[in-house]
Amino acid sequence: MFDVKLKNLSRYSLVTISIIIILPWIGILFNFSPFFRNHIFNIIGLPLFLSLASAIGFSIAYHEGRTRPVKQRCRMAGTDITEKNRAAQKIRYQSYLLENIQESMVVIDSNGFVKCVNERAKQLFAISVQDELIPHLQRIMYPYDQDRLELIKAQIRAGQSWQGEITLNLNGTIKHFIHHIDPLLENSALNGIVIISTDITALAEARERAETANMSKSQFLANMSHEIRTPMIGILGSVELLAETLSPEQTEYLSTIRECGEQLLEIINQILDVSKIELGVLELNPETVDLANLLSGTSSIIEPALKAKGLTLKLIMEKASGLIQIDPLKLRQVLLNLLYNAVKFTDSGIITLEAELMARPEGDTCLTVSVTDTGIGISGDKIDTIFAPFTQADSSSSRKYGGTGLGLYICKKMVELMQGSIWVTNLDGQGTRFSFSVPVTTEAVIENHKETTPNSFDLFKDDLLLDFTPVSILVVEDNELNRRIVTKMLLNYGFEVTNAGNGLECLNILQHTSFDVILMDMQMPVMDG
């Protein structure tokens, strides 16, 4: 049985068993005689140990933890390539990412040749490594002209990145991209560029659809607001005519109807203004006006609202006199919005309207207007959003004070249309100050322009005004109710009035009759105004 077991053992196992058997006997001999310990070991023990070592061999440990036996001694030299392998693995991973990203990437050297290009760029622009970039610029940078390309190159040469949105026609397909071009610098010298292109076609198409839908919405609001506004004018006009024939009690009831109608009309007008802003059809109509008269006349409009709340309006206009050229309707609308807001949110105290004309270093003149109240103020976290549409400083204020949240948004857009800016300042619990600043043409410039204009004349001369009395007016309105109301009101003022239902009727009447004034609706059947 012992023999069978020995046959089944490996070489190293047999050597181990031999050592276990022999070593105890050597120990006994060592203890038996000093002579054996000193001499016999050199004859028997040392060769035996070397033989065992030779039989067992040596081993080499590998860095991953494995060992391998080596029978004979050897001398060897090695280099640790761990970092090299890691770097190679990192490069392979980066190459994998580069080939699988959705952005197109093209690397160009300083001589204009392609040094690196990923798979996406090959698919989009048919570019390969070692290609010269110049033939591909038409595909990558069209429709930019040469002047625009030179500006981009100058920016890159200055070590600055460039980013822009561009629309390309690739094999008959319209694609939208954002190009991002970065300079590759080496010791502060331009050594090449990298062009990264992101396909935003889906995003651009979604944006275009959203803009189209928004335009359709604005057009719908404009049409609906006009349709609502037309009968509303009829209601208010009927109220004015009816007021002349009623008793005092009935007149009081009628005043309530008028007040509610005017509030509703104001909301409708705001929606119309927002629609015009979003459609981009809001235009300026500058005129020469007396600034002091315009400011005082506008402030007088809010006197009933001031009296109703027991408020006082203070005007500071010492530095705001003379003629200026500006759109008076837009300026008046901004002022009224700010003044009515001040009245609405002020329960007691003073509202101050301050205006000043200031010369700017650029050489032009700036009109700065401020409306300050002693009202509830605006919390700090709402300051940045107060000019956004449909936004109020406090959502609960819409229930207490009313309003649509459109007034300040309209103010901002109208001031920006006049090339100005508007801002708000909180007065630490003492109210709010709304200010805006717009460039204007002043009296000196206007007078100088008059002197250099040939055949100029004063539109307000008495003899010219006399030519317009008595006045004959043609009213062109397709809405019969409004036509009747306007006609009746004009007749009450002593004017001569003729009616037409659309633009074509107006032209037919003008064939044989002339008028001093034509009041005409814009949207009408058959022919618009």
Q: What pLDDT digit, counting tens, does each position of 191-207 carry? A: 888 888 888 888 888 88
Instruction: Name the architecture of domain 462-520.
Output: 3-Layer(aba) Sandwich (3.40)
Summarize pLDDT for 476-496 with one digit per residue, the tens: 988 888 888 888 888 888 889
Residue by residue, DSSP assigns 360-413 as -TTSSEEEEEEEE--S----GGGGGGTTSTT--S-TTHHHHH---S-HHHHHHH
- The residues pairing with 520 across neighbouring beta strands, listed in sequence order, are 476
Q: CB of 320 within 8 A of CB of 355?
A: yes
Q: What is the pLDDT of residue 243?
A: 78
Provide CB contacts within 8 A for 221, sequence distance 6+. Answer: 271, 272, 274, 275
**pLDDT tens figures, 286-310:** 999 999 999 998 888 888 889 989 9
Question: Which homologous superfamily does the CATH classification assign to the domain defined by 284-452?
Answer: Histidine kinase-like ATPase, C-terminal domain (3.30.565.10)
| Structure-model confidence comparison of residues 525 and 64, the more confident one | 525
The answer to whether the CB of 8 falls within 8 A of the CB of 16 is no
225, 237, 517 from 502: Cα distances, Å:
20, 21, 16
Using one digit for the tens of pLDDT, what is the confidence trace for 248-289? Answer: 888 888 888 887 787 788 878 887 888 788 778 788 889 999
Domain with residues 84-199, CATH architecture: 2-Layer Sandwich (3.30)
pLDDT recorded at residue 373: 92
Q: Residue 28 above 50 pLDDT?
A: yes
Indicate whether 331 pLDDT > 50. Answer: yes
27: tokens are: 């120990």
Q: Is the pLDDT of residue 165 over 50?
A: yes
Tell me how far apart the alpha carbons of residues 480 and 358 are, in angstroms, rounded to a whole number: 50
CA distance 476 to 98: 69
Tell me what pLDDT residue 507 has: 92
- According to the model, what pLDDT value does residue 508 have? 92
pLDDT of 332 higher than 60: yes
The structural domains of the chain, with segments of one domain joined by +, span: 2-70, 84-199, 208-277, 284-452, 462-520
Token pair 């003044």: residue? 339
Helices (H) and strands (E) in the chain, counts: 19, 17
The class that CATH gives domain 208-277 is mainly alpha
* Mean pLDDT of the residues in the chain: 77
Mean pLDDT of 442-460: 50
pLDDT at 464: 43
DSSP 8-state secondary structure symbol assigned to residue 113: B
Query: Integer distance in angstroms from the first to the last C-alpha of the chain?
Result: 124
